[in-house]
Amino acid sequence: MRFARHRTPDPAIIHQCASICLGYPDDEMMAMVPLLDAALGRQPADVAITGLRSFVGHLRESEPKILRQNYIDLFDLSRKHTLYLSYWTAGDTRRRGEELGAFKRHYRDSGFLVDLRGELPDHLPIVLEFAARVDPQAGVRLLQEYRPALELLRLSLLDRQTPYADVVAAVCATLPGESPADRRAVMAMQGAPPPSESVGLEPFDPRLLPIAGTR
């Protein structure tokens, strides 16, 4: 008797779609919504694909002007939801410079020229695109190394009740193991920042984040 093999979603598709979804919703990004919908529609349904398709629907049904302002408020004007992974683990310390250097080494070791598009190398959309299109094994290792940062970001977005939480949850679902239920469980993960850290929770300092008007 021959049994049908159960299909699972392609992690590279999830990572690439999440990378686009986490980008600033300018005209170029919004023009990709039909392509995102089509790519996700060809994948077998699971929690990650369902979450991403829900977010793509949110993009399709929302006013671009409102999407852009919400993105700025969420990611540019608050460090509680920063997309810079090493900020969650190192904050504004000398160690963060070392971690940023490690990201650059991963990209350089891949043998490809990685276009950072003016971003720091730990910017989550850049890491996701690297995992999807350049070096999946190295990219997934980076995501796994920064799993605590991803989970803290996911929980912060859930607290904000924003659809972006579905995008980060989809990325977490491509990694081994279940996502922690709360911050205490995240802090118990290997590689998590020390419990005394207040990374991502400090009052906003505009000198430390991109200026929205420079996009």
> pLDDT of the chain along its 215 residues, tens only?
454 456 789 999 999 999 999 999 999 999 999 999 999 999 998 999 999 999 999 999 999 999 999 999 999 988 899 999 999 988 878 889 999 999 999 999 888 878 888 899 999 999 999 999 999 999 999 999 999 999 999 999 999 999 999 999 999 999 988 888 878 888 877 656 654 344 443 333 322 333 233 34
Rounded Cα distance between 175 and 172, Å, is 5
Report how far Cα 104 is from the mean position of its chain's Cα atoms: 17
Check residue 25 and report its DSSP letter. Answer: -
Q: Report the DSSP beta bridge partners of residue 123.
A: 84
The structure tokens listed for 15 are 């990572």
Instruction: Name the token pair of 40.
Output: 């996700």
**Cα–Cα distance for residue pair 80/200, rounded to 1 Å:** 4
The number of residues making up the chain comes to: 215
| Cα distance between residue 133 and residue 139, in whole Å | 9
Residues 171 and 29: their CA atoms lie apart, in Å, by 19
Q: Identify residue 145 by its one-letter amino acid code.
A: E
Q: What pTM did the predictor assign?
A: 0.84
Under 8 Å between Cβ of 177 and 142: no
Looking at the DSSP bridge assignments, the partners of residue 178 are none
DSSP state letter for 31:
T
